Structure 1
């Protein structure tokens, strides 16, 4: 049966309101043409690893796909791909091989050239991953000498819940955009990620990439509610705080990441509702697109770079 006949059948089924038809991903020739805006270069990056623990596991596959985009969030065309295996020098767990199809024999003896990866990324303006915390951690562990780039996350830089998409899983988001793909391989996951970025959001109707860029490129302020009373934990959790280890001192505390325009309000809330009106003395991290999700480049948020904002927060805490 020819493709045009299948498309007709799919249209009939969809119009019946009794079926939902999803289409297998096909790499498009282009997404948009004829835009006079300056073109930037983005990369969607995906990593497959032997597991989830950056302390114990290793990268086994790196996939990257370049694409052209403009500052208003329009994607134009896909560019070249980068796909390499990496020998982890450990046995790949059976469940990982079943999930990805990658076996010990496939990666045996392979080593990704760090200079080659750095050259591929040289002209790139932003790297995007789905769960960038995971991907950037493994990327930097494997290639510590590659200079930092701005990073965005298609999982956390889009408010999928407000858009009516209840799961953050890439395959589920693809399903909501009426396509499917063979997942858990680095390049195809990257192509699917770009395909989603090229769509419009269901409710706000703006390009997905436009919202991602707006969120990824703004400064983030991470407030650490140190020594907060134990009985305030439910209030903090309900407000969006997470219990985690501070990256430099390694103590555990409740923390929240906010945009700059929310910082003053949050400090007032903490003073009034958590600390009983007393002066605050809390650690604050200022994170930009180059240092977010990174353990290697925390020095980029040094006191001299954002000294004016650090002094502003100190004054808010003393009020």
Structure 2
């Protein structure tokens, strides 16, 4: 009887607790996949002086290559690379609190442009956890890294449909069973690679799902001339305000283009909606042009 009670208590404890491990991503083979993968990707993260890529500067850049096989399983992880750079202006207290980088940490230091560009061009694609943020900063800073294929682990994996909550890197990593130091670029790169290694219930890795979606062309709709009165409709539809272009924008899959055109015609460009243009701007996008303003 006592043994049965002990077993019940142990079972209840297992249901009430979950162990998560500190992430320690080793260089070399992962022990997974089919041999040494023939394909190469590179994970990236930047820390910056603010949110405006037009007026701000990168203060830390971290990259790490990895190899993966035909099933999207990461088989090998390369050594990490990270550089800090003096932005030529004081780093604000808010940014120091967020990144851990102070003026003293970056004084007189710089990114090795040749090494960074060579690494980025050696992979089939670049992945960040918020490529809509990272890409413009990287391309502003590294001319030789423009026009590469980019994918985004935050926007191009439906984490909620796969049983996860939220989209932030640290929270997703914790749900996958790990925690990391957080917010320094090199730690976030390791967290990203580990997240891409995660296997979902159907056996597919997050990297496999990401590449499947990221390799497909899509269409970027810009609701040019949309009246202010339809802003809530656009937001509910999934459009986001592009402050630089001053337009509501949404990316849709290739097969959904016609449906989106019909929706806009009936809700945004109908005479009653008082549009200031005849229709939207529509642009075909691929991994080479995606995540740019």
Range class of TM-score, shorter chain: 0.7 to 0.9
Q: Report if aligned partners of 2:121, 2:148 keep a CA contact under 8 Å in 1.
A: no
Determine the structure 2 residue equivalent to 1:224.
222
Match of 2:45, SS state, is: strand
How does 1:55-66 map onto structure 2 within 5 Å? 55-66=54-65
Determine the structure 2 residue equivalent to 1:8.
none
* Unaligned ranges ≥5, structure 2: 1-9
Q: Report if aligned partners of 1:14, 1:21 keep a CA contact under 8 Å in 2.
A: no
Deviation string, structure 1 residues 155-212 (Cα, Å, up to 9, x no partner): 111112222322111110011011101011111211110001001135x542100111
Determine the structure 1 residue equivalent to 2:4.
none
The Cα of 1:107 is off from its aligned counterpart by 0.9
The Cα of 1:100 is off from its aligned counterpart by 2.1
Aligned CA RMSD, in angstroms, stands at 2.4
The Cα of 1:225 is off from its aligned counterpart by 2.3
Determine the structure 2 residue equivalent to 1:97.
96
Aligned: 1:54 with 2:48: no
Q: Report if aligned partners of 2:221, 2:283 keep a CA contact under 8 Å in 1.
A: yes
Cα distance in 2 for residues equivalent to 1:124 and 1:164: 30
Determine the structure 1 residue equivalent to 2:258.
264
Cα distance in 2 for residues equivalent to 1:253 and 1:98: 33
Determine the structure 1 residue equivalent to 2:240.
242
Cα distance in 1 for residues equivalent to 2:81 and 2:21: 25
Q: Report if aligned partners of 1:114, 1:146 keep a CA contact under 8 Å in 2.
A: no
Cα distance in 2 for residues equivalent to 1:79 and 1:34: 16
TM-score, length-scaled by structure 2: 0.86
Q: Report if aligned partners of 2:32, 2:74 keep a CA contact under 8 Å in 1.
A: no
Change (3 A) 1:33 1:206: closer
Change (3 A) 1:285 1:127: same
Cα distance in 1 for residues equivalent to 2:13 and 2:125: 40
Determine the structure 1 residue equivalent to 2:284.
286
How does 1:194-205 map onto structure 2 within 5 Å? 194-201=193-200, 205=203
Name whichever of 129-138 and 47-56 sits farther off.
Answer: 47-56
Q: Report if aligned partners of 1:40, 1:68 keep a CA contact under 8 Å in 2.
A: yes
* Unaligned ranges ≥5, structure 1: 1-11, 296-319
Match of 2:145, SS state, is: coil
The Cα of 1:106 is off from its aligned counterpart by 1.5
